[in-house]
Structure 1
Amino acid sequence: MIKRLLDYNDGEDMNLVLLLKDSSLRTSKNGKQYLVLQFSDSSGTIRGNLWNASQQDADTFSPGTIVELSGRREEYQDRPQIRIYDLRVVGPNEGYDLSQFVHSAPIKQKDLEEEINKRVFEILNPTWNRIVRYLLKKWNKEFFSYPAGKSNHHAVRNGLAFHTVSMLRDAEGIANTYPQIDRSLLYAGCILHDMGKVIELSGPVATTYTAEGNLIGHLVLIDEQIMLAAHELEIDEHSEDLMLLRHLVLSHHGLPEYGAAHRPVVLEAEVLHKIDDLDATVYAITNALQQTKPGEFTETIKSQDNRRFYRPKNDDALDKAPKLE
């Protein structure tokens, strides 16, 4: 069997064709420049540093470039990394395609589409239903192929739809337990809350932030899309239904310091925020645990306050779970 990037153990040499998922030119304490590179294939991503780099190197080894890497897997500060021996750009005539190096969500796109469309029919409020259907149709291709982020969570092809489906499943269970929750509003919020990422992010391959993403952000971007949809559908822009939906998407990050335009002050908005945070948290920890041997701790997880999580020795459930990244 051909070994992929994450199949190598510490101390093993490798020679692989990989995708540069990210590249950043930095300056060390001694004033020398180096490139921080994120190497990726269908198994996952590992970082490596190219020392004594120049701006020309940064231009050559830019995100989205396919490269041939010769190096060794090591560990530094509890995180895997690659010591680079040699690195070259793979030419366009060498038979490689970007799609070969992109990891996808563990649920097929067709199944993601079917499950989300099923939930749309359960949104009984006509205002929310019409807006959700309108925006799903408008952004269908992007919504079902884009990742949910550049690196933090669900940063895989179809990751945005996968994250949405996971949240809808959680929302169903919570709405069944608490009948006072408006299921239609919560479902609409789950589907739309991150849809602005189809504008915020560049796409599923070598994902970067767009100008709109850096300057505006996905919360405001989806709010704009909701208002445009309301205008096209001739929905009263001052109706309470529209205001509630906008509040859910604008507040789903919980706190202003995390990007929320307002703290949640509607029950469904608070629940949406909690579900979103829960799914992102479980994903990040699970992804790290899947790359960790039983009886050992994960690498530090940035999104979890740089904590390291322990993988129990008899963790059969994790072995049966689909591989995330």
Structure 2
Amino acid sequence: MEVKEIVKEGSISGTYLVLDSQWRVARNGKPFATLRIGDQTGEIELKVWDISEDAFRQLHKGQVLKLEAAAKNYNGALQLEASGREEFFRICQEGQYDPAAFLPGVSGSELKALWQVVDQTRSELKHPAYRLLLAHFFETDEFRQRFNSAPGAMRIHHAYRGGLLEHTAMVVTICQTAATSYPEVNRDLLLTGALLHDLGKLQSYSGELVIEGTDQGKLIGHLMLGAQMVSEAIQAIRATHGEEAFPAALEMPLMHLILSHHGELEWGSPIQPALLEACLLHHADHMDAEAAKFREARRNHPGQSGNWTPYNKALKRSIYLLDAVGEEQ
């Protein structure tokens, strides 16, 4: 049974990936485990009561389980429950499952369309320095392969293979509209910033079945990592083509866009936007991230389950689905 098929209370069985596991102790002193499990169709919480430490150690992040549990309603949302006193799971060894079943992501024609947005935008830039900088990254096969499969986050939004490319293409598309709406905008600067704003995520995440944060990502953060990658690329361009190939006057504004695109200090930006282009990039980035949360909540909402989704932790609220209102309106 896939996660998307768990729509009502009752017994369930299926093969799932452990996305997170935490050891807890209840008020009565009895241990239990809270797990987040999933497949490419969605995620769901699993509570395991009266679990031993030995059993818990087997349920670590990245493990694939053959699971038998019960779906129960808790505070308006379904969760799975199992008893540690029973044999409720079996560890699946490599070769006993299809990794593709646990790797949601963008593929096929969708990827091709996203790359078309990226490459066409590059080709339409007027300033040769920006085109040269973007070519340094996007015309390298190894880079394109990494960018093609990289997630856009560990959780919350675009946390799947191809998520970084999808998010980047969407932010670029929003910025193109903004640049048309506000003619005083430096279009080349804004679109270059949009294409490179999350570059540091390539060094921030790792893992095949489960997305993990790297040491660099945790200690430095993807904004600083991205700025470092761009700075190194600019230095390489100057070393090869001369100082005039990327004028110093272009470097600082671009760095500012990358470092300020989270918008607020409490959201992780070391500096707030001080350029119109930086302001627009921040809002485009935030807009697509928020829209992705809503879209994910819509996708995960079981059919025939009413207009309101269960409480969504990422959005900190339930959302209302117009499609569920009924076609008679």
| Aligned residue number for residue 296 of structure 1 | 307
State the alpha-carbon separation in 2 of the partners of residues 32 and 120 from structure 1.
Answer: 59
* SS of residue matched to 1:233: helix
CA contact (8 A) 1:146 1:204 kept: no
RMSD of aligned C-alpha atoms?
Answer: 2.3
The amino acid across from 1:37 in the alignment is L
The secondary structure found in structure 2 opposite 1:247 is helix
Q: Where in structure 2 are there 5+ consecutive unaligned residues?
A: none
How many angstroms apart in 2 are the aligned matches of 1:116 and 1:189? Answer: 12
**Structure-to-structure mapping, 1:235-274, within 5 angstroms:** 239-274=248-283
Q: 2:125 aligns with which of 93, 101, 123?
A: 123
State the alpha-carbon separation in 1 of the partners of residues 208 and 124 from structure 2. 29
1:123·1:185 contact (CA, 8 Å) conserved in 2? no
Greater radius of gyration (CA) = 2
Sort the Cα spacing of 1:111 and 1:56 in 2 relative to 1 into closer, same or farther, 3 A.
farther
Give the gaps of 5 or more residues in structure 1: 317-325
Q: Which runs of 4+ in 1 moved over 6 A?
A: none
How far apart, CA to CA, are the structure 2 residues paired with 1:213 and 1:119?
28
Query: Which residue of the other structure, out of 111, 114, 128, is the alignment partner of 1:112?
Result: 114
Pick closer, same or farther for the CA change 1:133–1:52 going to 2, 3 Å. Answer: farther
**CA shift in 2, pair 1:79/1:217, >3 Å:** farther
Aligned counterpart, 1:65: 63
Contact 1:285 1:301 survives alignment (8 Å): no
Structure 1 residues 295 and 61 mapped into 2: Cα distance closer, same or farther (>3 Å)? closer
Partner amino acid for 1:97?
D
Q: In the aligned structure 1, how far is the partner of 2:199 from the partner of 2:175?
A: 17
Alignment-mate amino acid for residue 132 of structure 2: R
Could you say if the C-alpha distance between residues 246 and 90 of structure 1 is closer, same or farther in structure 2, counting changes exceeding 3 Å?
A: same
- Aligned-partner Cα distance in 2 for 1:131–1:207: 29
Greater displacement, 137-146 / 21-30: 21-30
Task: Indicate conservation of the 8 Å contact 1:17/1:67, yes or no.
Answer: yes
Change in CA separation of 1:24 and 1:140 when aligned onto 2, cut-off 3 Å: farther
Q: 1:231 aligns with which of 207, 218, 235?
A: 235
Q: Residue type matched to 2:10 in 1?
A: E
Which residue number corresponds to residue 185 of structure 1? 189
Secondary structure of the corresponding residue to residue 303 of structure 1 = coil
Which TM-score applies when normalising by structure 2? 0.86
Q: Identity percentage over the alignment?
A: 27
**Distance in 2 of aligned mates of 1:90 and 1:42:** 17
